[in-house]
Every structure is written in C-alpha cells, then in structure tokens.
C-alpha cells in the first residue's frame, strides 16, 4: 500500500495529473509485487536525488511487476488515463505491456505500438474507457500531447473501483531491462475540436506544421525554386528507362524480358525499365465524413462561404468495420481546400503542374493505381490502368472475405461483366505506348495459406452453397469426372452421400480434419476456379487490347493454387506486400513459377508529424521511415523476379479517417497542407539514381 509520503497526491479537478508512484521513497519499491521479474531502486539523477524503479524481465511467459490497491479500490474516475515514464537502458529494442483490472475483474490491456529503441526514453499513456476509434470513424485514435499512446484493447473497466495494475513483458526470449518512473494518472483521449482549419491536429505542434494561410505563398515559392534546381537524371530515356544500359528490340509498347537471370520491363524504345511508382496520384481522395461528427472540427465553412465547394457526400464507400452512420453522410475535403488556398481558383491545373514536376524530380517514373487519368494525360509519363469487374455476379465465400466475397467465374454473368468492363477500360489506351498495362480487380478473396481450410476456402465455400450456385455445379461436375461414382467419393471423403444430386442439392460443410482424398479434390477445384477467373479475363483483355500487359489482380490474400494459375495466364504477377522488408527467401516458391512480379502497394508510416496512425508498417519517425523505405525498395531491386514497386500513397490519409473503413494513415509523401515529407523524397531520389546500376551489380 502506498502513502502520501510515497508520492500519492489526492485527485484534483480540471484534469490535473495525479501522482501514484515516484519511487522517491523506498517504501514504494517494497510495495511492488514482482513475479518472474527483479526490481531495484536506482539513483536516476544523482545531483537531484531523483530515483526510479529498475525492472529486469528475464526470459519466461509473462514476467511482471504488480501494484495493488489493497482492501479499498482506487477511484480513478476523475482522470482518463494511466501514464508512466519508461527508459530502455539497453542497446536492443524493448517492448512491454500494461494491464489495469477493476474490482469486478474486468481488464483493459495495452502494449507498445513500437518497441523502445536502444537507450530511448518516452512518456507512455494508456487511455481508460476511451471509445474504440472505429466507432468514431477512424483507425487510429487522437494523440494525447506529450505522450506516446499504448495500443489498447479499449475494454471497459470501472474506473471508480480499480484493484490493481501490472507492467509485464510478453514471453521475452532474452532478459530485458526497463527503468520505470513517475507513474501517474493524467488526461484521457478527447475528440473535441481536434482538427484545425487546415485539417491538421489542433492540439499538438511539430516541425513544419502550417500556422497561417500566409505561409502557403512562401512554401510554394520555395518548392518551385527547389524543383528548378533538381534536374531529371541524365541516363534516362523519355519513358524513364535506362538509356545508359543495354539496348533491346523496340516493340513500340512496354513488354517484359529476362536478361542475365533478371526480369525487366522494357520501354517501347527498347530500354530496361524498373517501375518505381506512386498510387493515388489524385486530388479526389482525402475527404472525411463530417456529418454527425461536427464537434471534432474547429472550423467548417458555412454554405456559400469561401471553400464551401469542397463539401461532398459519401456515396462510393460501403462501410468496412465502421458504424454505418459514421461511414456515410456529408464529407469535407481539407486537402482540396488547402490546394485552393495555396494555388488559387485554378488550383487543379496548378496542382497537376506541380505534381508532374515533383514525380520525376523525386525519382518516380510511373503513375500507378487509383490515379487521376487527367494527370498522366496532361504530360507523357508511364502509367498503369485500373479496371474493376463490377456487376451483379454470383459469389463464393473463401472464409477470408475482407472487402467482399469472391466473384463466381463459373457464373455466365461473370464473363459478360468481364467483356463489358474490359471493352470500356481498354478503349482509350489500346494504342498508347505510355500505358504499361492493366491491373484487373484488387485484393480479391482468394483465401489464405494459414491452414488447409484457408487454402481450400473457395472449394469449401462452394460446397456450402446449393444447386443454384454455378460454382457448386462446376465443382460437382469436376468431382464426377475425378471420382466416377459417388461411392468412390464417399470412400475418399469419409461421407455418405446417396447420389451426386444429393451432394449438389444440399449445402455441405465438412467438420473435423479434412481427409487426404478430400484435400486432393478441393485443391483441384481451387486451381480450376482460379484458372477460370484468369483465363476469362486474359482472353477478353487480349482481344480488346493485344498491345499491353496483363498485370494480374494484386494479391493481398492468396492460395498456392491461385498464384500458380495467375503465373500461367498473366504477363506479370502482382502482389500488395505490406511488410517491413521483402526477403528473397520468403518468395522462392513464387520465383520458381518463372514469371515477373510487380508490387502493387506497399508503405511505411510514422506519427511524429501530427497524425494518429502509422499505417500497416510502423516506424518511429520520418528518418526511420525513410530508412525502411530505402531498405524495402533495395530488396525489390535486388530480387531478380521483381520488375517494380508502387508506393501507397501520394498524400497522407485524412486525420479523421476516410469514409468507409476509417483509414487515417500517416503514409504519404505529401500531407494535408500539401507540404512535403522531405526525408522520404530524398530517399526516393537516392534510390532512383542508383537503381539501374544496382540491379545489374555495377
């Protein structure tokens, strides 16, 4: 039990911090219950007589230290979070978790988003009973200025009756040391007026934050002068290919070639080309729902006021993980409003002009998916085309259906939709040499390789349908040919179907472990399902546009069978790979398929510039982000099967989340005020300058 002498202060009003443990008194150390951990009181600042708690977490399940309230629970309802200062004194990164338990046994738990770096200190905070960010329309919750948020589960606890809290390491493989100090209660997360008039986080400051409209003119002039001094690299052809390298046959359009064991794209003029591209080069994305969330915004224009033209209505996005009322409704587009402030009434033309100067100056030679055709039509630069097959088509669940269930390629409506979509999508591009090729569809529900049920999910999904399903009909017909008689199927599967019609007519879901014979049949159908999908698209695409490449379907989830079918029928395979690195050993099975591969999406983010969520690949700050970006792209350059990688995306996502799925990732090269993340830009310039010679080992 701790006392006032041990650092406890009574809670005050107005959200003032409330100290719990400062470790200035030895009795506080005695109150710590260590389980599997070792604690000592250390002299942190000898001249000031400041002390802290040093904790060693040896290898084990969950070595921990625990603080208990005793007979009377703590009342924390006047405060909103548990705060602590933590130092990692070691030369290796260190992570930890915090758990708070109330008198009824309810628990809230959180862990570090990113480990503390070597010899790093930070102030951490675990918000208590804050709303789930998705319920507020965003993925990452607002920051608490001065603190690093712990990644919490947002479970509710009775803050008026807290019984204990603990700090622990989850299964450390080697001994870890942390220095913990100044455990206290503090302010919680707020959603009130968190967005300023420029779409930035209002409650915090950082280097480069826009403070006034007057700054736009200077930033614009500075960038224009800088771009004028940054010339395009001299050893490039008009398409961005390597004019200083070997010359191959000029086909008039982009093609693929394998040279000295490495796959390449080849420009229409016959030069080797590695595609370094940007996704979402447009001014359309970036709106956020304001209807029902007006309290979050310091300023929104009234109807008829300047910049009110940037209101919109979300009609495209269907909600993914968000409450419908937060996914739909009136939106506001702060990025476009800032472009208007920065460039004037003709902001779109000026933005497009500066963007087309930025890309080659920054080292990018491709405009990739989700981009505005008006950008690459205004100035010749290689680009890819996005075509979605969108119609009323029968569907099959793979069990891994994030965006939607898989389209049924055996449905005649699928072939009709493919024909309609590809005829329209290729009409303007068929004879354009600047077009690299077509991505058709994106991140489809192919299943996964996590286990057999994930791998064969589409086959199991078809079995779970009835006789009206074209996929179920195709599967049963395939089984007839493979097994001849229903008895043979029953012996292989361990089932008791009376007839083929019985199998076809009723939904079937196998339970328990799948037999070897069943897995063989499931595997064969999943492969044929994928072949049917890719062949239908390939045949239609080559009919309507024989000049350009079929770049695949941008796998985010996949089975081995779907990848093999793609390799058979596509010119280039595509994967969206959100990982810190792209290790060649992890892609050896794909490399053996003998087709070039392009990465359709990747990114890395950091929240040190006023954003709330670092995206799918997290880094500590802009410097670390640029370093990881460089390492990732070099992995791709060094891998002989890759012919390029496309970064997602050009502009940071909106602070309060995009409609539909609430992504508010800090992943752009440009922020909401059209200011630059210079660390990333310098990294991409360096990579572009070295990529061709690096790829050939010079």
Give the domain CATH number at 97.
Answer: 2.60.120.430
> Is the pLDDT score of 10 beyond 50?
no
In order of 18, 227, 408, the CA distances from 466 in angstroms are 62, 61, 14
| pLDDT confidence of residue 485 | 95
Give the domain CATH number at 664.
Answer: 3.20.20.80
For residue 674, tell me if it sits in a domain. Answer: yes
Residue owning tokens 């005020």: 673
Per-residue pLDDT, averaged over 644-659, amounts to 97
57: number of Cβ within 10 Å: 25
pLDDT in tens, 449-495: 999 999 999 999 999 999 999 999 999 999 999 999 999 999 999 99
Q: Are residues 154 and 87 in the same domain?
A: yes
Residue owning tokens 């370094």: 276
Q: Are residues 128 and 174 in the same domain?
A: yes
> Is the pLDDT score of 540 beyond 90?
yes
> Is the pLDDT score of 183 beyond 60?
yes
Q: Are 472 and 464 spatial neighbours (Cβ–Cβ below 8 Å)?
A: no
Q: Is 65 exposed, middle or buried (0-12, 13-18, 19+ CB in 10 A)?
A: buried
Q: Are residues 145 and 170 in the same domain?
A: yes
pTM above 0.85, yes or no: yes
CA distance 693 to 698: 5
pLDDT in tens, 329-339: 899 999 999 99
> Is the pLDDT score of 13 beyond 60?
no
For residue 472, tell me if it sits in a domain. Answer: yes
pLDDT in tens, 83-132: 999 999 999 999 999 999 999 999 999 999 999 999 999 999 999 999 99
Of 514, 558, 531, nearest in space to 398 by CA: 558
For residue 207, tell me if it sits in a domain. Answer: no
pLDDT category at 378 given cuts 50, 70, 90 is confident
CA distance 545 to 419: 12
Q: Are 641 and 590 spatial neighbours (Cβ–Cβ below 8 Å)?
A: yes
In percent, the amount of the chain with pLDDT more than 90 equals 89
Q: Are residues 493 and 445 in the same domain?
A: yes
Of 331, 336, 334, nearest in space to 291 by CA: 331
Per-residue pLDDT, averaged over 499-525, amounts to 95
| pLDDT confidence of residue 612 | 97
Secondary structure of 363-429 in the HEC alphabet?
CCCEECCCCCHHHHHHCCCCEEEEECCCCCCCEECCCCCCCCCEECCCCHHHHHHHHHHHHHHHCCC
pLDDT in tens, 576-593: 999 999 999 999 999 999
Alpha-carbon dihedral angle through residues 691, 696, 697, 698, given to the nearest 10 degrees: -80
| pLDDT confidence of residue 406 | 95
For residue 657, tell me if it sits in a domain. Answer: yes
In whole numbers, what is the pLDDT of the chain averaged over residues?
Answer: 93
pLDDT in tens, 228-281: 888 778 899 999 999 999 999 999 999 999 999 999 999 999 999 999 999 999
Q: Are residues 372 and 404 in the same domain?
A: no
Q: Are residues 533 and 618 in the same domain?
A: no
pLDDT in tens, 48-92: 558 999 999 999 999 999 999 988 999 999 888 999 999 999 999
CA distance 653 to 138: 11
Q: Are residues 500 and 612 in the same domain?
A: no
| pLDDT confidence of residue 11 | 31
| pLDDT confidence of residue 660 | 87
| pLDDT confidence of residue 50 | 82
CA distance 260 to 171: 46
For residue 555, tell me if it sits in a domain. Answer: no
In order of 10, 55, 171, 359, 558, the CA distances from 443 in angstroms are 54, 45, 34, 26, 9
pLDDT category at 14 given cuts 50, 70, 90 is very low
pLDDT category at 5 given cuts 50, 70, 90 is very low
Q: Which helix (H) or strand (E) holds 179?
A: strand 176-186
pLDDT in tens, 296-328: 999 999 999 999 999 999 876 667 777 777 777
pLDDT category at 622 given cuts 50, 70, 90 is very high
Domain limits for position 457 = 395-550
Residue owning tokens 């099975």: 589
Q: Are residues 289 and 372 in the same domain?
A: yes
For residue 287, tell me if it sits in a domain. Answer: yes
In percent, the amount of the chain with pLDDT more than 70 equals 96
| pLDDT confidence of residue 316 | 65
CA distance 355 to 332: 22
Q: Are residues 308 and 417 in the same domain?
A: no
Q: Are residues 409 and 507 in the same domain?
A: yes
> Is the pLDDT score of 172 beyond 80?
yes
Q: Are residues 508 and 586 in the same domain?
A: no
> Is the pLDDT score of 8 beyond 50?
no
Q: How many domains is the chain partitioned into structurally?
A: 3
> Is the pLDDT score of 3 beyond 60?
no
Q: Which of 25-29, 197-201, 308-312, 507-511 has the lowest mean pLDDT?
A: 25-29
| pLDDT confidence of residue 286 | 95
> Is the pLDDT score of 16 beyond 90?
no
| pLDDT confidence of residue 323 | 77
| pLDDT confidence of residue 231 | 72
pLDDT, greater one: 424 or 71: 424
For residue 244, tell me if it sits in a domain. Answer: no
Q: Are residues 76 and 149 in the same domain?
A: yes
For residue 656, tell me if it sits in a domain. Answer: yes
């Amino acid at each position: 039990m701790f006392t006032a002498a041990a650092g406890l202060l009574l809670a005050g009003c107005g959200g003032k911090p409330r100290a719990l443990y400062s470790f200035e008194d030895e009795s506080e150390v005695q109150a710590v219950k260590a389980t599997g951990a070792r604690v000592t009181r250390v002299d942190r600042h000898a001249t000031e007589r400041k002390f802290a708690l040093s904790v060693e977490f040896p290898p084990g399940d969950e070595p921990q230290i625990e603080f208990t309230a005793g007979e009377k629970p703590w009342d924390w309802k006047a405060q909103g979070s548990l705060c602590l200062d933590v130092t990692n004194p070691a030369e290796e990164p260190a992570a930890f978790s915090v758990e708070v338990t109330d008198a009824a046994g309810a628990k809230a738990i959180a862990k570090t988003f990113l480990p503390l770096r070597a010899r790093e200190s930070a102030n951490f905070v675990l918000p208590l009973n804050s709303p789930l960010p998705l319920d507020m329309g965003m993925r990452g919750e607002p920051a608490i200025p001065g603190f690093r948020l712990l990644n919490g589960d947002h479970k509710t606890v009775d803050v008026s009756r807290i019984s204990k809290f603990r700090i622990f390491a989850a299964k450390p493989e080697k001994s870890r040391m942390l220095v913990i100090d100044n455990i206290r209660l503090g302010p919680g997360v707020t959603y009130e007026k968190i967005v300023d008039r420029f779409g930035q986080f209002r409650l915090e400051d950082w280097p480069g934050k826009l403070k006034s409209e007057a700054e736009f003119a200077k930033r614009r002039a500075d960038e224009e002068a800088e771009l004028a001094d940054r010339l395009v690299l001299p050893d490039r052809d008009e398409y961005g290919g390597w004019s200083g390298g070997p010359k191959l046959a000029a086909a008039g359009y982009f093609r693929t070639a394998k040279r000295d064991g490495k796959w390449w794209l080849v420009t229409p003029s016959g030069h080797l080309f590695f595609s370094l591209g940007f996704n979402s080069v447009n001014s359309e994305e970036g709106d956020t729902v304001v209807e029902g969330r007006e309290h979050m915004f310091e300023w929104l224009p009234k109807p008829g006021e300047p910049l009110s033209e940037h209101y919109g209505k979300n009609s495209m996005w269907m909600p993914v993980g968000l409450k419908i009322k937060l996914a739909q409704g009136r939106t506001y587009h702060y990025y476009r409003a800032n472009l208007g402030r920065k460039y004037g009434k003709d902001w779109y033309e000026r933005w497009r002009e500066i963007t087309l100067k930025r890309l080659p100056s920054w080292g990018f030679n491709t405009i990739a998916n989700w981009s505005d055709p008006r950008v690459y039509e205004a100035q010749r630069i290689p680009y890819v085309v996005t075509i979605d097959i969108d119609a009323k088509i029968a569907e099959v669940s793979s069990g891994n259906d994030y965006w939607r269930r898989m389209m049924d390629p055996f449905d005649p409506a699928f072939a009709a939709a493919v024909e309609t979509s590809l005829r329209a999508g290729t009409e303007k591009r068929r004879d354009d040499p600047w077009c690299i090729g077509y991505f058709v569809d994106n991140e489809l529900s192919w299943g996964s390789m996590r286990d057999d049920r994930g791998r064969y999910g589409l086959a199991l999904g078809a079995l779970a349908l009835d006789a009206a399903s074209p996929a179920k009909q195709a599967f049963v017909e395939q089984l007839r040919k493979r097994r001849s008689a229903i008895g043979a199927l029953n012996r292989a599967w361990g089932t008791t179907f009376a007839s083929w019609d019985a199998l076809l007519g009723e939904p079937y879901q196998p339970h328990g472990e799948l037999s070897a014979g069943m897995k063989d049949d499931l595997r064969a159908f999943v492969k044929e399902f994928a072949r049917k999908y890719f062949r239908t698209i390939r045949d239609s695409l080559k009919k309507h546009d024989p000049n350009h490449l079929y770049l695949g379907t941008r796998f985010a989830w996949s089975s081995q069978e779907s990848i093999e079918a793609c390799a058979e029928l596509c010119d280039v395979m595509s994967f969206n790979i959100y990982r810190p690195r792209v290790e060649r050993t992890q892609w050896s099975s794909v490399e053996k398929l003998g087709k070039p591969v392009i990465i359709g999406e990747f990114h890395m983010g950091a929240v040190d510039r006023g954003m709330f969520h670092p995206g799918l690949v997290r880094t500590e700050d802009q410097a670390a982000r640029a370093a990881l970006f460089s390492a990732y792209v070099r992995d791709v350059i060094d891998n002989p099967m890759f012919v390029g990688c496309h970064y997602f995306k050009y502009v940071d996502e909106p602070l309060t989340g995009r409609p539909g799925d609430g992504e508010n990732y800090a992943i752009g090269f440009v922020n909401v005020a059209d200011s630059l993340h210079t660390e990333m830009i310098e990294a991409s310039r360096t990579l572009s300058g070295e990529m061709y010679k690096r790829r050939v080992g010079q």
